[in-house]
Structure 1
C-alpha cells in the first residue's frame, strides 16, 4: 500500500476519461470537482473501481444542468441529498454537493446541510482512507491537488482503519459504519485501530436501529470479500455479531465439561476457509452462507451423555430452520434463503453413506434432493472435514470420492439430473381415465418413489405398476 516518493499522490491516481470530461465542464463553469472516497483509495491500492464518486461546490440543480449535456443518462433519485447520478463514457458517476450533515442520533437520517469546503465534506466520511480527494478540474496531473486533511494516506499505507473525528461521534451519526469496518477488514485486508475497535465494542447495540436491508448488504459484501474469516472474527470479537448474526457467537462453546471437544465456532470458520478454497468461478455467496450456518443448530441440540460424550442429534434439521429464520429476518431473497436452508439440511446426509453401503436408490435420492445444489453440496461436505487425524481425513475423502463416482455412473446411465416418473400426469389421467385432481398427484408421487427405488422402468412395466397401485388406492379400492 505504500506510495513511491517519486510521484505525488495526485499523480498516482489515474483520472479516467469520464472524470476528465466532467472536470473540464465544471472548471469551465467556475466550480470545483474532486474525485473522492473509494475511487481514490482503490487507485492508491492498485485496485479497480467500477464507478466514480465526486464532490463539488455546485448545488444539486446546477450539477444536473452541467452533466445533462454530456451524459448518456442522468438519475436524480438522490437529489434531495445533494447527489446527481450520470452515465459518462459508459461509467456510472455520482456527483454530490459538499455536505456538512448533522444526524438525529435516533434513526440515522441526516439533516442535510450543504458544506462550504471540501474539508467539511471529507470530515463527515466514515474512515480516513475514504476521506481523501483528488481535484479533476486541471488537465495536467502535476496541477491536480491531492487533499488528505485527516491522514488517510498514512493510514492506508499502514492498513489501519481510523475515523476522521472521534469514532464515538462517527458511529453515533451512523452505526452502520461499525459494520462497514468489519466489511473493510474482509475486502481490503486492513486492521481496525484500537480506539475504533473499542468504540465498536462499546456501541455495538446501536446497530439495532439500522434496517435489516442495510445490514444484509454489508454482510453480503463482507462474505464476498477476500478475507471473510477476519471480517467475521471482527464482528464476533466486538459484539456486533450478537446484534446482527447472533447464531455465530453462540457457536463459541466447549462441547463437554472438560472442554475437550473442538470449538464449533473455530470449526465453522475453518469450514468456511476450506469451502472458499474449493470455489472455481469466483466467490459463491450461497456456499459461503451455507458454510457459515451449517452447524448453527448445534447449541440447541447439544446433549451430554455418560462418559463425557456429546451428541447433536438432528442439528441439521434445527439448523436449516434457524438459517431460514435468520436470512428472513435480514430480508434476504427467497432463492438465497431456500438454497442455504437446503444445503444446511442436507450437509449431514453423506455421513450415512460412510456408515452403511448405500443402495442405488439412496444415491438417487441424495442427488434428487440436492438437485442443482449438488455441486455446492459436494463442496460443503468436503469442507466439513476439519479433523487433524490424517487417517480419518483420508478415509472421509476416499468415501466421498467413491460416492461421487457412483453418482457419476448413475447419472450416465439414468440422467439423474432429470429424474421423473416413467409416466407423466397426462398419461396417468389417460390410462386411468380420471380428471385432474389430487388422485393424479398421488399416483405421480407413487411412480416417482418407484423410480427412485428401482431406477427406470420399461413403459409396459410402469403402466402395470400404475394399474396395480390404482387398484389398491383408487376410488373403487377395498377399504378392508
Structure 2
C-alpha cells in the first residue's frame, strides 16, 4: 500500500505528465479546490477521472470527493458554478457546470449495505482513505488533491492500470456482496478499457452471479448499455457468459451455445453471434447501440426453432420472428424505452429478408416492400445483413457481398425513380372520400390500404389509373 500522504513513488514521469495535463486542461479543478480549502475542507479529484487522465482519455465530466457535506458543498458552489443540480443530494452528490465541464462533488462515504435491498445505505465518512476503500476497483481508488496535486494511491491502482488489471480494494466477495452491480461493471470495464479481471475477481463473480438478481432492472440495463457501447463488447459478453452473470438478466445469450448453426460447420450459434457483433461494429459510422443489440439478438430464436430433417440437416424455420418476440420480451424486462425496443426487435424480424434475393426471385415490388417495411431502419438493416455473413467459404462470401451490392444499387435506382422514402397511395384520404362520397371512417382506411398495396406492387400510378383502380375496388366492395 503506497503512502497516502505524499505522491506515490511508482508514479512515472509520463504519468506525472498525465496528471499535470489534467490540471492544465481543467484549471476549474484548482479554482474549486481553493474555494473548498478556504472553507477548511478537502477536495480530491477521484475515481474514473484520475484513471482516465492517466490513460489519456479524460472527458468533460469530473468527479470529486470532499470532506464537506452536501449543504456546504452547495453553498461553496453557489455564485461560482454556472448551474447547480441536486438530484443526487440524498446520496451526497451535488452537480455543477463550469466552463463547459460537468462536475460532481460527493461527500466522503462510508457506505453500508444491508445486502438485501437494492440500494446502498449512505453514511458520510470523514476520511479520504475510507472513501477510496469502498470503491469498486483499485484503478478507480486513486485520487489527486486540488489545488495541491498530491497523488494518492492506497491500493496500487497505478500498477493495475499499467497491467490493465481489475482488482477490488478489499476482498472481491465483500465488495460484490455490498453491491453486486460491481460484477457487471467488471465486464463493462473489460469491454470499454480492455482490462482483465484478476482470477480472484472472476472466481467471486462466478460464485456470486445469482446476487445480481438483487439489483434493479434499470441499473443493470444502464451498465449493460455501457458494456455494449464499449470498444470491444465481445470481451465483456464472454465474461458475462463464462461467469454465469448473463444467465441472470440475459439468458438468451448463453442459450445460443445449445444450437449448432444450420450448416453444422466450424462454429455454433453463440460464436457466430459474437462474430456478427464485431462485424456490425466495423460497419457502423458511430457507436450505435441499436445496431449492436440487434446483432447480439438476431439469432436468439434459433434454439426454440431448431429441427433436424430426414436428411440430417438442421433448420431454424421462422427463427427471426420468434427471435423478435423474444427480443421484445427481454428488452421490456430490462426496462428499455419502447422506441429502442421496437427498433431492435424489428431489425431482428427483418434480418433474413435479404436471403433469397440472389436467386433472382425479387421483383421491383419485393424491393419496394423491403424498403417500406424497413423504413428509417434501412441503413441499419443493410449493416446487420452484411454483418451476418460470417461464412469462411470465400466463394459464397463473395457471392453474398455481390448480391447485396446489387440490391443496394437496385434500391437506389428505384428510389431515384419513385421516391421510396415516402411510398404512399397515389390518392390521399380526402381524394378517396370525395371520389366515393364517403364520410371519414374505416372504409376510407381500407381504400387507402388497397391503393398503397397497388403502389408497392406496380410503382406509381398516374391520376386516371389510380381513380380507375379505386372505383373498381369500390364496386367490388359494394360501394
Which 10-residue stretch deviates more, 89-98 or 26-35? Answer: 89-98
- Secondary structure at 2:192 match in 1: helix
Task: Decide which of 343, 355, 374 is 2:359's aligned counterpart.
Answer: 355
2:190 & 2:82 partners in 1: Cα distance? 36
Q: CA offsets per residue over residues 222-241 of structure 1, 9 Å max, x none?
A: 11110111011111111110
Residue pair 2:297, 2:348 contacting (<8 A) in 1 also? yes
Of 394-403 and 351-360, deviating more is: 351-360
1:347-377 CA distance string (max 9 Å, x none) = 1011121234311111110110111111111
Mapped to 2, the partners of 1:28 and 1:215 lie a distance apart of: 40
Post-superposition Cα deviations, 1:109-168, rounded to whole Å, max 9, x if no partner, equal 222222121000000000000000000033xxxxx2111111111101100000001110
Summarize the alignment of residues 3-42 of structure 1 with structure 2, pairs less than 5 Å apart: 4-5=12-13, 8=16, 11-12=19-20, 14-15=22-23, 16-42=26-52
Distance 1:343 1:11, change over 3 A: closer
Question: Post-superposition shift, 1:48?
Answer: 2.4
Work out whether residues 447 and 470 of structure 2, in 8 Å CA contact, stay in contact via their aligned partners in 1: yes
- Count of residues in Structure 1 that have an aligned counterpart in Structure 2: 468
CA distance in 2, matches of 1:115, 1:334: 40
Q: What are the equivalent positions in structure 2 for 1:76-475 lying under 5 Å apart?
A: 76-138=86-148, 144-255=149-260, 260=265, 262-280=267-285, 282-475=286-479
1:17-48 deviations in Å (ceiling 9; x for gaps)? 22111011011112110000010000000002
User: What TM-score do you get using the length of structure 1 for normalisation?
Assistant: 0.95
Please tell me whether the aligned partners of residues 254 and 261 of structure 1 are also in contact (alpha carbons under 8 angstroms). no
- What SS does the corresponding residue of 1:382 show, helix, strand or coil? helix
Distance in structure 2 (CA, Å) of the matches to 1:259 and 1:271: 17
Alpha-carbon distance between aligned partners in 1 of 2:261 and 2:354, rounded to the nearest angstrom: 25
Give the alignment's Cα RMSD to 1 decimal.
1.7
Between the aligned partners of 1:10 and 1:424, the Cα distance in structure 2 is 63
1:402, CA displacement in angstroms?
1.0
Is the contact between residue 257 and residue 308 of structure 1 (CA under 8 Å) also seen in structure 2? no
Distance in 1 (alpha carbons) for counterparts of 2:167 and 2:478 = 73
How many angstroms apart in 1 are the aligned matches of 2:292 and 2:262? 31
Alpha carbons of 1:427 and 1:24: their partners in 2 closer, same or farther (altered >3 Å)? Answer: same
Q: CA deviation at 1:74?
A: 1.4
**What secondary structure is seen at the aligned counterpart in 1 of 2:260?**
coil
Distance 1:82 1:394 in 2: 58
Question: Structure 1's 48 and 396: CA in aligned 2 closer, same or farther, altered over 3 A?
Answer: same
Whether the aligned pair in 2 keeps the contact of 1:256 and 1:309 (CA below 8 Å) is no
Deviation for aligned residue 1:3: 6.1
Q: CA deviation at 1:338?
A: 0.9
Partner residue in 2 for 1:141: none
Shift of 1:6: 6.4
CA distance in 1, matches of 2:436, 2:414: 31
Distance 1:241 1:106 in 2: 21
Structure 2 residues without counterparts, runs of 5 or longer? 1-9
Q: In structure 2, what is the Cα distance between the partners aligned to 1:28 and 1:97? A: 17
Secondary structure of the corresponding residue to residue 74 of structure 1: strand
SS at match of 1:351: coil
C-alpha separation in 1, matches of 2:28 and 2:245: 39
State the Cα deviation string for residues 177-213 of structure 1 (Å, max 9, x = none).
1011111111111111100000000100011111111
Decide which moves more: 349-358 or 219-228.
349-358
**Structure 1 Cα separation of the partners of residues 21 and 178 of structure 2:** 30
Verify the 8 A CA contact 2:259 2:303 in the aligned structure 1: no
Change (3 A) 1:258 1:88: closer
Structure 2 CA distance for partners of 1:115 and 1:169, relative to 1, 3 Å = same
TM norm structure 2: 0.95
Matched residues in 2 for 1:439 and 1:259: separation?
Answer: 51
The answer to whether the 8 A contact 2:297-2:327 is kept is yes
